[in-house]
Structure 1
Amino acid sequence: MKNNVIYMPSTPLNVMVSLAHATAHKELQNAYLVLIDQKNVDNNPYYNCLKQSELFTEVHILPGMAHGKEKLAERSRNFQQIKQWCERWRPAEILVGSDRRVEFQYAMSVSQQWGSTGAYLDDGLYTYAGKPRAWYKDPLNSLIKKIAYGWWWKEPVTVGASSWIQTAYVFQPTTVVDELKQKECRKLQPEWFLLPDIKAMTYLILEQFDFSDSAIEDLSKIDLLLTFPHPNDIDLMQGYRNRVEQFLERANDKGLNVAVKYHPRMAQADEWSLQQRFNIAVLPSNLAFEFLLPFLKSNMIVLGDVGTVVMTAKWLRPDLRTMAVLNGNDAYASQFRPVMNKLGISLIDSFHEAIELER
């Protein structure tokens, strides 16, 4: 008899990893998926595609749009719905990309009566670098959440480390932070992401972002893809925008086919007006980078920095030339060099070094 399991992704990367895990285990389980903490529930591109997948018996979506007092009311409604689903599905396991999500922790508290276990699905950087924490902030935050939501809340010292989690599915089990080494670590296999179900879903998702067949074909012509970090990270790296613009001007002079992808938190589709000024392709910021990977040509260059992009590119497409641009003289960027080294990711000090590789 197959066990029932619930996937609770909240980010596009969570969706991709959930799809791969569900595909690899579809003969062993009945899978349900709840897309949590979503700002867009009326026309969510990932939800629209997931509903078409035969991997999941049911697919649902929960909002995460309210603020202030309304946030408590919204979460209370979400909890009521989660309770109904858990009572109906009686999951043996609940899988999530962050055990900091209150929806996951509530589902775990409800499902303890059936002996449900929790599993962490690799969410990138914090799996290997850990989460900086203040001695006073986490206990205070934990107390506030216990009062607001329930005494079932457990504050993890880093993502995936709470006692709700028994198993961690990660890309590099030997290099996770010490807290995750206390879990049963299992390797996410790169070949899972190449299975037919994943490729079919990838096409559906690109269609949701209005990619035509010719636009998909154009992805295979890109020589170099530059991905931008979170705006908060950009603010902490002195002169970042100026260095990017100098690099794009030089790449243009060299005749390279360059594309850029802003972070989803950037306010505008082309925040810095790069497409018009440098005649480059600007990819949709709210489309997860991981869904572009199958269409990139072998040996092309992917540039990132302090985010998860360089990690997933290396893990899922080892045939690409993936590099983290981390200037050793920049105090903020340089603190990420050790973890990138640990993961075997190539480091360069400047964007211009990537152009030299294309000579």
Structure 2
Amino acid sequence: MFPINRPRRLRASVGLRRMVQETVLTPNDLIYPLFAVPGNAIAKEVKSMPGVYQLSVDKIVEEAKEVYDMGIPAIILFGIPEDKDNEATGAWHDCGIVQKATTAVKEAVPDLIVMNDTCLCEYTPHGHCGYLEVGDLVGRVLNDPTLELLKKTAVSQAKAGADIIAPSGMMDGFVKVIREALDENGFSHIPIMSYAAKYASAYYGPFRDAAESAPSYGDRRTYQMNPANSLEALKEIELDIAEGADMLMVKPALSYMDIIWRVKEATNLPVAAYNVSGEYSMVKAAALNGWIDEKKVTIETLMSFKRAGADLILTYHAKDAVRWLNEVSF
């Protein structure tokens, strides 16, 4: 008891605080999302996400080299195809934009880990993460036909050189069928990072600008999770683990740190947190208006995800965070 115990003794200097710091953030914790588009020499900034660009494959390769040189171990690729159709052909075709970008990056930077987002929303005219019957104006996503498209997509991405398959559509049974398809096609060595607890969040808005995937009708709440639920997340991760998931993801991160904690407590698998577009854009907007210190808020936020239990963080701040890690102390 006071005055014997004085916790402030260990906060007296930067050196002491660093010495007893419980949580450490390093470049190895980060995964950088990139958006691939057809064409050459294209770097189109996303209006709602300052500093984030739609990039042609040649520019993706340049980014990949920079990311690797900075010590960031992985990227995740999203694609915006030239044409969209109800069969999401651009997602699973061997000449799809993500497949082209994946092959190009692995040829240029073989030691960089390339994750592929395995979903359909960017490749369909309706913008949903699954298969809709032609003429269905309600927007009912059909689970089992969607699984067939996801199987084709995962195998195509693996053939292109993807190191990790990351299915994000929240279809029932998607981990099981993707695992089976990968194994049957000689890719039993490729891990699956499942978007196991993906919530129907309002924080995704800027991403839909970047990926050009806003739903034109229908309701994603029929397959993404209710933000009010936490026990449901534990059920989802349990199912995905049983189906063969190697890593688990919680998305979004900022308002769901309790879910990150509960998922980490419930499993010994690596847990990733997706620091999503809306979280990124809020920080950028406030910083551009001079309302916050962007460096400090960014590092504090990412550190908080680690403290909550995240082993990996997907974040658009990744490159800036690496630059700022040695400039921000607590």
Task: Calculate the TM-score normalised by the size of structure 2.
Answer: 0.30
Greater relative contact order structure (CA < 8 Å, 6+ sep):
2
